[in-house]
Amino acid sequence: MTLVPSLRSKVENTLAIADVRINGNRPWDLVVHDDRFYSRVVSSGALGLGESYMDGWWDCAELAQMFCKLLKAHLDRRPSISWAIMYVRARITNRQKKSEAIENVHRHYDLGGDLYQSMLGQWMLYSSANWKHAASLNEAGEAKLDFVCRSLNLRPGQKVLDIGCGWGGFAKYAAQKYGVQVVGITVSTEQATLARQICDGLPVEIRYQDYRELDGKFDHVVSLGMFEHVGCKNYRRYMETVRCCLKPEGRFFLNTIGANKSRYCINPWTDKYIFPGGTLPSIAQIGAAIDGLFVMEELQDWAESYDKTLVTWFENFHANWNKLKTRYSERFYRMWKYYLLSSAGAFRSKAIRDWQIVLSS
C-alpha cells in the first residue's frame, strides 16, 4: 500500500518543477482518474504519459498549456529507458531507408482522407498556416501558400517540384494563382489519390514516388513538412538530390519543424503512435547537409503560428467528431487530441521550431 503514495510523490515533485499540480483547480493542472497512472509514468516516461491519457487515466482542461509548462521546465530532457532504446536504434539503423519510409508514411498519412479533410481546411495544408493578417484557417492557409510562391519568385510557365506534396494544396494554389506546372511526389497512396482529384484539370502531375527516385530538372523546388521524415542519416542525400533537380538559378523552399539541438529520434510516444521514424533536424544538421550545395538566403521561425494552427486543427477535428466516430474509436479521439494539443504546447514553449527556409545554389 505504500508503493502508490511514494510514486505519487515522485510524480508530484517532478510536475511541481513546471508549476503543474495533481488534481489542482487551474486549467493546466493534471486530474488523475486511475492511480495506475503514477507507476506507468515513472516506469515509461513520455510513452507512459501519452498511453495513460489514451486509456483515460487522466485529463487536463488545457493540454497545450500543460505541455508548454512541462517543456519550458525541460522535463522532456529527463532520461528514460524508452528514450535510450530509441536513441541507440536510431544511431545504429537507418529507420528512414526507402522500404521503412513507405511503411512509416502509410501508418500516418493513409489513416483516411475524411480525417484530414475534417481538420485541415480548404487548402488541405498540413503545415503551419500564416496567421499574420488572417482571421480564419482558410485565409491563413492561403497566406502561407502565397508566401511560399512569392519566396520562390514564381513566374508563369515555370516547372516546380513539390517533394512530399500531401493532398495537393500547394500544387493547386501555385498552378491556379501563378500559372506554373507542378510535379508533386508522395509515397502515401491516400494522398496521391486525393491530390489527383483536387488538382484535376490543372497542369499538375502527382506521382507515387520516393525522393530518392527523382530525376529531371525544375525551375524551383518546394517541400512543406516532409523533411521531418527524412532522418539524419539521409539529410545529405536528400539535399544532393534536390540540388541535382534544381536549375542553376532556381530556389528551394524548405519548411520543416526543427529542434533546438541535434537529436536522432523524437519522443517515444510520438514515434509509436503518430510519426514512426520521425526526426526533427537542428540548424547544425541542416547546415551540414547543405554545406557546399546551397546558400541560405532566408530563415524565419513560425512557431507561434504553428501553435495557433494546431489548436485550430483540433477545434475542427472536435467539431467533426460525430461524423468521424463511425470510423474511429474513442481511444483514437484521445490519441489525436493528445497529439495535436501537446504539439501546440511544444511550439508555444519554443521547445521546437517551425522554419521557413529559402535556399539557392
What pLDDT does residue 30 have? 96
pLDDT beyond 60 at 302: yes
Domain with residue 190: its CATH number is: 3.40.50.150
pLDDT beyond 60 at 343: yes
Same domain, 167 and 264: yes
The reply to whether 345 falls in a domain is: no
What pLDDT does residue 96 have? 62
The reply to whether 343 falls in a domain is: no
Same domain, 63 and 202: no
Same domain, 129 and 229: yes
Residues 6+ apart with CB under 8 A from 311: 64, 340, 341, 344
Same domain, 59 and 160: no
Residue 86's pLDDT band, with cuts at 50, 70 and 90, is: very low
The CA distance from 64 to 57, in Å, is: 18
Residue-range definition of the domain harbouring residue 16: 3-87
Same domain, 150 and 183: yes
In the block, residue with C-alpha cell 519510409: 101
Same domain, 205 and 71: no
The reply to whether 10 falls in a domain is: yes
Residues 251-282 have pLDDT tens digits of 999 999 999 999 877 789 999 999 998 999 99
Same domain, 212 and 291: yes
What pLDDT does residue 109 have? 81
The reply to whether 269 falls in a domain is: yes
Residue 91's pLDDT band, with cuts at 50, 70 and 90, is: low
SS3 annotation, the chain: CCHHHHHHHHHHHHHHCCCCCECCCCCCCEEECCCHHHHHHHHHHHHHHHHHHHCCCEECCCHHHHHHHHHHCCHHHCCCHHHHHHHHHHHHCCCCCHHHHHHHHHHHHCCCHHHHHCCCCCCCCCCCCCCCCCCCHHHHHHHHHHHHHHHHCCCCCCEEEEECCCCCHHHHHHHHHHCCEEEEEECCHHHHHHHHHHCCCCCEEEEECCHHHCCCCEEEEEEECCHHHCCHHHHHHHHHHHHHHEEEEEEEEEEEEEECCCCCCCCHHHHHHCCCCCCCCCHHHHHHHHCCCCEEEEEEECHHHHHHHHHHHHHHHHHCHHHHCCCCCHHHHHHHHHHHHHHHHHHHHCCEEEEEEEEEC
Same domain, 191 and 75: no
Same domain, 70 and 127: no
Same domain, 123 and 265: yes
pLDDT beyond 60 at 81: no
Q: Please indicate whether residue 92 or residue 30 has the higher confidence score (pLDDT).
A: 30
| Average pLDDT value for residue range 54-69 | 98
Residues 173-182 have pLDDT tens digits of 999 999 999 9
2-16, 233-247, 288-302: segment of lowest average pLDDT? 2-16
The reply to whether 340 falls in a domain is: no
Residues 101-115 have pLDDT tens digits of 677 778 788 888 899
The reply to whether 210 falls in a domain is: yes
Q: Please indicate whether residue 92 or residue 112 has the higher confidence score (pLDDT).
A: 112
The reply to whether 39 falls in a domain is: yes
The reply to whether 307 falls in a domain is: no
- How long a stretch of residues is the chain? 361
What phi and psi values does residue 207 have, to the nearest 5 degrees? -110, 140
Domain count, the chain: 2
pLDDT beyond 70 at 79: no
What does pLDDT average to over the chain?
92
Where a domain ends, among 63, 87, 111? Answer: 87
Same domain, 168 and 229: yes
Residues 142-172 have pLDDT tens digits of 999 999 999 999 999 999 999 999 999 999 9
Where a domain ends, among 87, 122, 144? Answer: 87
Same domain, 156 and 241: yes
Where a domain ends, among 67, 87, 107? Answer: 87
